[in-house]
Amino acid sequence: MKTDQELKELVKQKYSEIALQDAKENKSSCCGSGECSTEVYNIMSDNYEGLEGYNPEADLGLGCGLPTEFALIKEGDTVLDLGSGAGNDCFIARAQTGDTGKVIGVDFTPIMIEMARENAEKRGFNNVEFRKGDIEKLPLTSNSVDVIVSNCVLNLVPNKKGVFEEMYRVLKPEGHFSISDVVLIGELPLELTKQAEMYAGCVSGAIQKESYLNLINESGFVEVIVQKEKSILLPDDILKNYLNEESLELFKTSNIGIFSITVFGKKPDTCISGNGCC
């Protein structure tokens, strides 16, 4: 079993490689993981093209939802994107928060930060910045952010509880988040959970849906709701790389479900002792 640090290094290495892949390749795999499908094109990603601020150059095809569509961003807001990649969600958030707002992207992969900064500079976005950092220890002061978004990132983080606690810390009172992520109902086969490609591909790092929502509530957030949910079906031509025929058939006939969910939560206006905001 890999340690938390080993898993984080695995993700950093894999996503440094993924950054150089074509977006079409990423969309036909599990969040850019090593194996692509010839059966299904968009395995996890949703279509961003109808959202203002969308730029294909910044879309690496690594998402599993459209959190910025549900994030209720207002003009003048300060928005934080966790795991900002090449800047796609940040640029959409900027279109919503306007020139008077501010957008901050945090990512721990140097090449992603470099790509995002180049994309922002090309467009002259002076109120969008990208910071290299670990989302388990955010490089932001407490009570400084109005809205947090994130797209298919927390499932890659071993210490999800720590991330939710950091989100709570940096949000202003009555600030909120909208995050898209991969969750499970039922236990995945061991052959999938032990594969590095499946961890970097958002699948084996996912936890049970109920546990995921419990972590959010335990971190102090209120008004927690699932804004959108969709089932993710992994195609046979990817699964066959990890499962034999017998295991594949058992998996397909089981009650195991892999879902993309977009979740909303709000920080209360009164600080709760122990959450680091007081």
Superfamily of domain 4-266: Vaccinia Virus protein VP39 (3.40.50.150)
Nearest CA to 23 out of 69, 50, 52, 63 is that of: 63
Give kind and range of the element (H or E) at residue 214. helix 209-218
Tokens of 26: 């990423």
Q: How far is CA 247 from the centre of its chain?
A: 29
Task: Please report the DSSP string for 169-197 in residue order.
Answer: HHEEEEEEEEEEEEEEESPPPHHHHT-HH
Give the other-Cβ count within 10 Å of 115's Cβ.
21
Please list the pLDDT of the chain residue by residue as tens digits (278 residues). 567 787 777 777 777 777 666 555 544 444 444 554 444 334 566 778 889 988 888 888 888 899 999 999 999 999 999 999 999 999 999 999 999 999 999 999 999 999 999 999 999 999 999 999 999 999 999 999 999 999 999 988 889 999 999 999 999 999 999 999 999 898 877 777 666 555 455 676 789 999 999 999 999 999 999 999 998 877 777 778 878 888 888 878 888 888 899 999 999 997 655 555 55
Q: Could you state, in order of their start, the residue ranges of all structural domains in the chain?
A: 4-266
Cα distance between residue 252 and residue 52, in whole Å: 38
The phi, psi pair for 262, rounded to 5°, reads: -110, 120
Tell me how far apart the terminal alpha carbons of the chain are, to the nearest angstrom. 37
